[in-house]
Amino acid sequence: MTRFSWRTAGESHGKALIGIVEGVPAGLELDVERINSELSRRQGGYGRGGRMKIERDHIELQSGLKGGVTLGSPISFLVPNRDQTIEDLPLPASPRPGHADLAGCQKYGHQDTRAVLERASARETAARVAAASIARQVIEAFGIEVFAHVVELGGVKARSDGFELTGADRAQIRSESCFYCLDPLVEESMRAAVDDAKEAGDTLGGVFEVRAMGLPPGLGEYADPAERLTARLGGALFSIPAIKGVEVGLGFEVARRMGSEAHDAIQPRAAAVEGLGNRFSRATNRAGGLEGGMTTGEELVLRAAMKPIPTLRKSLPSMDFKTREATEATYQRSDVTSVPAAGVVGEAVVALELTRAFLSKYGGDSMDAVRAAFEAHQVALAQV
């Protein structure tokens, strides 16, 4: 059995973004339209800039399938770039504060920020969304759903009472929002914030939340610190460009509470099935579905804070590489905000980590083998 892993390659204005996903069990019928709809969702959201009007992101699968069904061999794919101008674009004279430009040039010894930004660009996340859209079809076959939505943008906060909605309602409401947000009442204020920032040549950050439903308890690991799922999920969210903070469950708020107000009482699961599955549930979910680096079986609740995009039309102070004189950061084009897109990427990286943890616990060569291991654990769970 191949261990689950993935990798991306490609430059923002090169020929294509490229991905390889290994360890997807054989026998999964891949829904390609599903992958493409995630790619176009990543391109969307109010506040995106000119590049997204050029691109039509879609997947071109290269290997790992026969008749649309996975073979168990590495799945490779391209997401072609329409803008392939890497060799023609002008050299930016000065690095942008907040981007990888300066530290990247100092690391590699360049005076050419394009040599850095082409890979450091958040365009790479298109390949990750494609990889995740493949991987998550494995866990979806076992009833696991991952869902992200924007909870704050440019300081405008969504109300948090939409969470009791069912999965189908949530998805419907989010699809009607140009901010991928569940609170329609804040949409106008968010839109005004983006329009004002655009007018001022500025950019906006925000917060998205990622939830995962239908998880079995015990995914992840406490014995190996590096395999603690909390660490892996935090690392995954921090791997998205511009993410500066991650919270789990109550997040930083938990540090201000007494122990008696910080944890989740254990109680019988009301819907427990005789002889099968988890017999326990929690009265609350302050832990956000993670304890001891493992899933508890409750909903996973993660939030990530994104800084405003560092490419501003109203450029920030910088230095010219050649003259060493004070100047302004080079501006070519950018989004005003890409928090909605970052939420799509957040959903993707969480789905990749959950698939990895799921296959590390139940992995087998084929979907049938995975199902057998999963069902055996459901029987074992009823004995606990």
Query: Using CB under 6 A as the criterion, which residues of the chain lie in contact with ligand EPS when the complex forms?
Result: 12, 49, 51, 83, 121-123, 126, 241, 309, 333-335, 338, 341
Q: Which helix (H) or strand (E) holds 275?
A: none
φ and ψ at 286, to 5 degrees?
A: -70, -30
> What is the DSSP code (8-state) at residue 366?
B
Residue number with CB closer to ligand EPS (160 or 332): 332
Q: Which lies closer to ligand EPS via its Cβ, residue 114 or residue 286?
A: 114
- Residue for token digits 């866990």? 139
From the CB of 335, what's the least distance to ligand EPS, in Å? Answer: 5
C-beta separation of 24 from 134 below 8 A: yes
CB of 345 to ligand EPS, least distance (A): 8
| Pick 123 or 174: Cβ nearer ligand EPS | 123
Helix-helix angle 339-362:229-238, to 10 degrees: 150
Q: Which residues touch 67 (CB under 8 Å, ≥6 apart)?
A: none
Tokens at 50, concatenated: 């000119």
Q: Which is nearer to ligand EPS, 22 or 83 (CB)?
A: 83
Residue-by-residue DSSP string for 221-240: -SSSGGG-HHHHHHHHHHTS
Measured CA distances, 300 to 31, 147, 259 (Å): 25, 10, 21
Residue 49 CB, shortest distance to ligand EPS, in Å, is 5
Nearer to ligand EPS, 296 or 311 (CB): 311
**Closest separation between CB of residue 84 and ligand EPS, Å?**
11
CB 314 within 8 A of CB 301: no
Closer residue to ligand EPS (CB): 83 or 365: 83
Least CB distance from residue 295 to ligand EPS, whole Å? 30
> 318 φ, ψ to 5°?
-150, -165
- Min separation Cβ 20 and ligand EPS, Å: 20
- Name the minimum Å distance from CB 54 to ligand EPS: 8
Q: Which of 298, 302, 249, 292 minimizes the C-alpha distance to 278?
A: 298
Q: At CB < 8 A and 24+ separation, what contacts does 104-107 make?
A: 105/321
Cβ proximity to ligand EPS: between 117 and 229 the closer is 117
- Give min distance, CB of 128 to ligand EPS, in A: 11
